Amino acid sequence: MVKNYILYILFFFGFFVVAQKTPTVSAKVDTTKIRIGEQINYQITVEDAENGVIFPKLQLDSLGKIEIVESLNIDTLKNRLIKKYRLTSFDSGRYVIPKQPIYIWNQPYYTDSILIDVATVAVDTIKQKMYPIKAIQNEPYTFEDFKSYLWWILGILLLIALILYFVLRKKETVEEIEAKIPPYELALNRLKALDEKQLWQKNKIKKYYVELTDIVRSYIERELNIPALESTTDELMETMTDFNTSSSLNIPDETIKKLQKLLREADLVKFAKYKPLVNEIELHRNDAGEIIEVLHPKIEIEDEAVE
């Protein structure tokens, strides 16, 4: 009996170890040498991970000489995800496709970099057809030919400049208009506008979460002076936690956790094609409003109440 128990324990331990395989990522191309204008098939493969995988925007060479022709949909196989791209280049040289970060449950995994050689198309000058010398061309126009029209041209240009000045000088961009609105008021207006669009009801769930998280991030950046728009979810949460610890904001831990949950689940919708249920979408919308309410400073109201 004891031997049987030992065998069972060893069997389940071995099964657990096998089941906990570490995800791996890799990248490859069908060729590393092309001529100008030819295409490369670039492929990123994720092994032993089916959920929580995020493929960020493809990072190409630092010189910008390699271009994306087409980004294909993700192929899902057993324990494997494959993302394919078609690339090309119109400048000869040697370029490096850098390591690509693939996020698996917010943990970055990196592919290897790949060197691409782009060669010019050889031209056989011997076989080029020879043409006769061109005839003498007519003498080109000079400034003196148009001197009599100069004052008319200057007058018309001045008139156009004045019209453009008076028409365009008072027009403000959307960013300039929004910058004049207090962060809290602007966030509420944007949430109301988002509700009126009914994006998720029209099955535009990804666009809905992009706008929802942009509203929350923009409010945090303007109200708390924290770089939220350009930060990843993990970077923002780390900054928020440090900022909350070193300041007098006293943001409740529940609000911090609610913000982290909202952003991470929104990342799954935007990058991993996760489709939340209706009640989850409504909960995320309510959480966004509550987060903005909690982060809204109420110092002036409290001072008036004390007086």
Mean pLDDT, residues 64-85 = 87
Give a yes or no: residue 65 inside a domain: yes
Give a yes or no: residue 56 inside a domain: yes
Assign 17 a pLDDT band (cuts: 50, 70, 90).
very low
When the pLDDT of each residue in the chain is averaged and rounded to a whole number, the result is 82
Same domain? For 85 and 188 the reply is no
Assign 170 a pLDDT band (cuts: 50, 70, 90).
low
Q: What is the pLDDT of residues 258-300, one digit of tens each?
A: 999 999 999 999 998 899 999 999 999 999 999 999 988 765 4
Tell me, what CATH number does 230's domain have?
A: 1.20.120
Phi, psi values for residue 87, rounded to 5°: -120, 160
Give a yes or no: residue 206 inside a domain: yes
**Whether pLDDT at 9 is above 60:** no
Rg (CA), the chain: 30
Same domain? For 190 and 296 the reply is yes
Assign 125 a pLDDT band (cuts: 50, 70, 90).
low
| pTM of model > 0.95 | no
Assign 127 a pLDDT band (cuts: 50, 70, 90).
low
Predicted local distance difference test score (pLDDT) of residue 81: 87
Residues 115 and 98: their CA atoms lie apart, in Å, by: 9
Nearest to 251 by CA among 229, 220, 228: 220
Range of the domain at 84: 22-119
Same domain? For 195 and 299 the reply is yes
CB 99 within 8 A of CB 111: yes
Tell me, what CATH number does 27's domain have?
A: 2.60.40.10
**Total of domains in the chain:** 2
Predicted local distance difference test score (pLDDT) of residue 151: 79
**Whether pLDDT at 10 is above 60:** no
